[in-house]
Amino acid sequence: MDYRDVDIINHQRGWDGYFKLDVYELRHKQFNGDQSQIIRREVLERGHAVAVLPYDPVRDEVVLIEQFRPATLSVHKNTPEMPAWLTEIVAGIVEPGETLQDVARRETIEESGCSIIGDLEIIIPRYYASPGCSSETVQIFYGQVDSEKAGGLHGLDEEGEDIRVFTKSSDECFAMLRDGIFCNAPTIMAIQWLTLNRDRLRHAARTSIK
């Protein structure tokens, strides 16, 4: 089944701010061949995102960022162990005319101060972040960086970003993963991927140096 099996009865923009909220009334073909009842749903038009794991295979260090996330407030207020300032990998929204690779390189510079060395490698192909309520898709890349001078505060003033940059060894990141320090999906998936690929990346880096 595809979009042709959906009958959109009404569609309107319910909110047009920093994010967009669209309201749908629709019905769709069911697996038994019948039409569903009419359902009303709100869809958050978040835009599409790219995340990047900035890893230095020479120093065996991951460049991480920490920043405030407004959507955490209601959770953090009632569940204090869930933080409002999140430790994450680099991520950003795809702007018109940009490729996913363009975004990966731009956001890595803007958010961490590091530049991607060589080609990007796909960690996780494009996936729906939360399709029950949002149209957002995410693709996660690995990008090699030089972490020697990584640190400090970064981000764009015009976007209200206040991003702290720091490094951790891969072993420290693996411990943070086990201890539940990472609590956003792209970071968790990227660090899990690194547990499986660290040796390969380090070997490739040593070979290229020789």
Which residues are marked as active site? 159
In contact, 62 and 194? CB cutoff 8 Å? yes
Q: What is the DSSP letter of 84?
A: S
CA terminus-to-terminus distance, the chain: 52
Q: How distant, in Å, are the alpha carbons of 41, 65, 74 from that of 129?
A: 17, 20, 20
> Hey, what's the torsion of the CAs at 194, 184, 168, 48, to 10 degrees?
70
Range 27-31 contact pairs with CB under 8 angstroms and sequence separation of 24 or more: 28/1, 29/1, 29/5
Angle between the N-to-C axes of helices 170-178 and 185-209, in degrees from 0 to 180, rounded to the nearest 10: 160
Which residues have a Cβ under 8 Å from the Cβ of 64 and sit 6 or more positions away? 87, 88, 89, 165, 166, 167, 168, 173
